[in-house]
Amino acid sequence: MGLLLVTDNEKELQLGNGQVGLRNVGNTCFLNAIVQCLSHTRSLRDYCLMRTYLQDKHSNQEPVLMNEFSKVLAGLWECDGGETTVNPSKFYHVFKDSVPYFSGYSQQDAQEFLRFLLDRLHTEINRRPSKRPASFRAFKSLIVSCRISEEAFAMWQRHLDRDDSKIVDLFSGQLRSSLHCSVCSHYSNTFDVFCDLSLPIPKKSDYGRTVTLRECLDLFSQEEKLVQENSPMCERCNRRTESTKRLSIQRFPRILVIHLNRFAMSRYSISKSTVPVSFPLNGLDLGPFGPVDCGPVLYDLYAVCNHSGTVNMGHYTAACREEEGWCYYNDSCVGEITEEKLQSNQSYVLFYELKSCNIVRK
């Protein structure tokens, strides 16, 4: 059954069901899987199909990559039922021109591709003119006496002064890194913008034992002890001291992208973790990992990017939530998948949408 998209200017788009595959144009399964997940990010999809970015962006330059990305989404969603596969080759060509790191036809990492793609799309459709940010030291001196929430908000506004786009609206959140000096007990905070959370996977001694996404989040946010030589300068002691660091989420994004860090790099090789990670399909609560007493912050899953195989011989697929269930996207092949089969040792990137949040977003 098709969807009818009605916009503010009363222009209507008759959308298909989105169950259209993407052609593999040479080791591009990583691209196909991520694009399918992004095409099911409804706010981004509608924004692209209506070409609203042409009015939003500040630059007079043509948003070449955004145009091609939007054409791919149009092929997936505006089809009349006759097309079963879309060719993303032109979009990929433009992307490689923009990010030469992806030149050639070797297999690439899906999460790296997602980061680079969102960054380049943001740059093209940024609502702000390019300008150098104010001196951080001078800026920090203005907010040194603020409460944590006020300091975080000031840092967020500083970010928006130069980086403000639909990509930021949807995918950007804010991390708080809290540092505690073991010598003078001074607390200091830094705030960083993120577009995904890269979570470590706990190592289990029992072969085949499943870990939970909550365990990954606990490991990500647990207190870390820093020895003196690896510790930042204490603002009060004015020297490096033994300290502890803890990460928490200060500002929650509307679209939460979770990267399960399955690949570990050593001095001579890269290994892959095949530990199964179970994750909730509905009601993922990130409230315990946010500001104190922030209350429940609930997310629902809508897409999963999977990686099967080994480091050198791997393959990416996607599973996306549809109106009547879940669909499995394997390049040009599209089929149904049960909720039970979503849980596996192949899950790599999870896409969640904010359902409810008690924190007032400014």
122 pLDDT higher than 60: yes
Q: Are 245 and 177 in contact (CB under 8 A)?
A: yes
CA distances to 257, 290, 314 from 260, rounded to whole Å, are 10, 19, 16
Burial category of 350 from C-beta neighbours within 10 Å (exposed 0-12, middle 13-18, buried 19 and up) = buried
Closest CA to 277 of 263, 265, 260: 260
Supply the residues annotated as catalytic: 29, 315
Helix, strand, or coil (residue 228):
helix
Question: What is the C-alpha separation between 56 and 48, in angstroms, rounded?
Answer: 11
Question: What is the C-alpha separation between 14 and 79, in angstroms, rounded?
Answer: 9
Mean pLDDT, all residues of the chain: 88
CA distances to 24, 122, 124, 215 from 56, rounded to whole Å, are 32, 11, 10, 40
Closest CA to 199 of 189, 182, 213: 213
Q: Are 179 and 243 in contact (CB under 8 A)?
A: yes
The more confidently predicted of residues 358 and 354 is 354
Q: Which amino acid belongs to residue 312?
A: N
Burial category of 335 from C-beta neighbours within 10 Å (exposed 0-12, middle 13-18, buried 19 and up) = exposed
The more confidently predicted of residues 149 and 137 is 149
What average pLDDT does the segment 256-261 reach?
A: 97
pLDDT value at residue 63? 96
Angle value at C-alpha 45, between 43 and 48, nearest 5 degrees: 110
Question: What is the C-alpha separation between 172 and 29, in angstroms, rounded?
Answer: 25
**Per-residue pLDDT reduced to its tens digit, 53-83:** 999 999 999 999 999 999 999 999 987 666 7
Radius of gyration, CA atoms only, the chain: 22
164 pLDDT higher than 70: yes
Q: Are 213 and 202 in contact (CB under 8 A)?
A: no
24 pLDDT higher than 70: yes
pLDDT value at residue 267? 78
pLDDT value at residue 95? 97
